[in-house]
A = this chain, B = another copy of it.
Amino acid sequence: MVSMLFSDCSTSATARLVPLQRRISVLTSQLRSQVSLPWRPVSLRLVHSSGLRFQSPCTVASAMSTDTAAKIIDGKSVAKQIRDEIAGEIVKLKDATGVVPGLAVVLVGSRKDSQTYVRNKKKACEAVGITSYEANLPEDSTEEEVIKQISVFNNDPSVHGILVQLPLPRHMNEENILNAVGIEKDVDGFHPLNIGRLAMQGREPLFVPCTPKGCIELLHRYDVEIKGKRAVVIGRSNIVGMPAALLLQRANATVSIVHSYTKNPEEITRQADIVITAVGVANLVRGSWIKPGAVVIDVGINPVDDAESPKGYRLVGDVCFEEVSKVASAITPVPGGVGPMTIAMLLSNTLSSAKRIHNFQ
């Protein structure tokens, strides 16, 4: 059993983050980089400029502690189930058409964390029967070289999905590079054309971004009704918060987006039946923020110092799990909640792409 650890989120989860920078998840860094104002941990020791207050230290429970009232939304188990379903569908697709779905990953540079993510994605592909392709380009590649590589994958009929591992080296324009991915192979769903279709009624995106898609899938699999419910999304990043809000809206929730300029985030969040939080700030959301019985999906993956861990840190979400799990009716743990769903949705998008390209129902 994982030991109980205590962390004062007004200090420890924040001030000592910098030395861990190289180890924090790409997801978290992407989230933070896309929040318009600095929701930076360092400013959270007192009162954040946008009005985010920490009332008391958060006693962080182990995610899998049984001392909770809320149902634990087990993303790990749901993701496994989805991967099994995908593996079954891939066999059918192959038997009927001879087609094997292919996912190409473009990795620029040699960041250790990115290499780990790419390795995990390749493993996940192999496990379900998706062929993975990888292009490793040196850190000092030019934008043109990266775009040329993407173009090769765009034109390769054995590739049905293309993923550019983020973050890219600083000298590159992320927008230019992501836009080079053919819309019909944009399994990350980050192309503005996909986002536009997601926002519009009567239009269908070819792909939905993996992490928010995973959040909604968890709600579906746990029979959480979305239609007519109040939903609050905390964070408005291009890769999670914003598309999560659009997805909830499509499912007919009444959606409010809380962000760094929101003056009373606690009050607004407390009105929600469903809360999705994706800001990358450890223990931001306290028990007092949550309406009793609400369902809480925690996308944050934040490292906090932990002398007892072999790595010297452990991962927590944006939600103070111990407090919130006593108020919510259901909650995702970190790790083991949304995290495993992201890769499962990537595999799902790749399979959908292969089926669409080969017109297989």
Chain A residues at the B interface, C-beta cutoff of 8 Å: 34, 36, 175, 191-203, 227-228, 230, 236-238, 242, 246, 249, 252-259, 261-263, 268
Contacts and interface: CB of A to CB of B under 8 A. Distances in A.
Contacts of A200: 192, 195, 238, 242
Given A195-B196, A196-B193, A228-B262, A201 B242 contact: yes
A178 to B, nearest CB: 10
Contacts of A230: 268
Most buried by B among A197, A199, A249, A257: A199
Contacts of A259: 252, 254
A203 B175 contact: yes
B196 A246 contact: no
B249 A254 contact: no
Contacts of A256: 254-256
A100 to B, nearest CB: 31
Number of copies: 2
A254 B261 contact: yes
A46 to B, nearest CB: 19
Given A228-B262, A262-B254, A236 B201 contact: yes
Contact of A254 (B198, B253, B254, B268): B268
A237 B203 CA distance: 12
A168 to B, nearest CB: 14
Nearest to A253: B261
Given A195-B200, A228-B263, 19 more contacts: A34-B201, A175-B202, A192-B192, A192-B193, A192-B199, A193-B196, A195-B196, A196-B198, A199-B199, A199-B246, A202-B238, A227-B261, A230-B268, A252-B261, A254-B258, A254-B261, A254-B263, A255-B256, A256-B256
Contacts of A34: 201-202
A93 B269 CA distance: 49
A13 to B, nearest CB: 25
5 nearest A-B residue pairs (beta carbon): A192-B196, A196-B196, A195-B196, A256-B256, A252-B261
8 contacts: A34-B202, A36-B252, A192-B199, A200-B242, A201-B237, A202-B238, A254-B257, A254-B259
